[in-house]
């Protein structure tokens, strides 16, 4: 994880509609930047729906929610439509941003070792500085946890 108090790495990635988003576009707002393994899986769907349910509360507090995974723009679009997600999903197919935020690690499942995204969430302040960094978060609890941190 990146250190609290450090500047969040700048990025530009396409969203579920193919539009480009840069972190600098959100200066002046709090950013909840969450990294998740895969669209349309049980945990990731729970987490996304939790953020969607609380989205009005996040916006009331001046925060935007950005979800990032390796999934394609098309996959993100289907995920957004399936669950009526009101926030932006960003596609990082080459994992450059995922790696910059130090959430790309060796994982083990069913006796196999592979590289993958560790479910993690950053809270970035209005000036682009990391104020919270949470690793290995529980998908179902993370949205409420982030709301309380605001």
Let me know: does 23 contact 10? Beta carbons within 8 Å.
yes
Taking every pair of Cα atoms in the chain, the longest distance, rounded to a whole number of angstroms, is 45
Whether 49 sits among the annotated catalytic residues: the reply is no
Helices (H), 12-137: 42-53, 55-60, 73-83, 96-100
Give the active site residue among 31, 32, 33, 44. 44
Alpha carbon 40 to its chain centroid, in Å, reads: 15
Helix (H) or strand (E) holding 145: helix 142-149
Let me know: does 133 contact 1? Beta carbons within 8 Å.
yes
Residues forming the active site: 44
């Amino acid at each position: 994880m990146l250190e609290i108090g450090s500047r969040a790495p700048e990025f530009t990635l396409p969203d579920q509609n193919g539009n480009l988003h840069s972190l600098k576009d959100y200066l002046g707002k709090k950013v909840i930047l969450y990294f998740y393994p895969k669209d349309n899986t049980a945990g990731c769907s729970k987490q996304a729906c939790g953020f969607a349910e609380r989205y009005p509360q996040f916006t009331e507090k001046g925060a935007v929610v950005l979800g990032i995974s390796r999934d394609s723009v098309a996959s993100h679009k289907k995920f957004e439509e399936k669950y009526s997600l009101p926030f932006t999903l960003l596609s990082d197919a080459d994992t450059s941003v995922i790696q910059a935020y130090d959430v790309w690690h060796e994982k083990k499942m069913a006796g196999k070792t592979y590289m993958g995204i560790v479910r993690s969430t950053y809270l970035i302040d209005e000036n682009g500085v990391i104020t919270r960094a949470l690793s290995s978060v529980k998908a179902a609890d993370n949205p409420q946890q982030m709301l309380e941190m605001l």
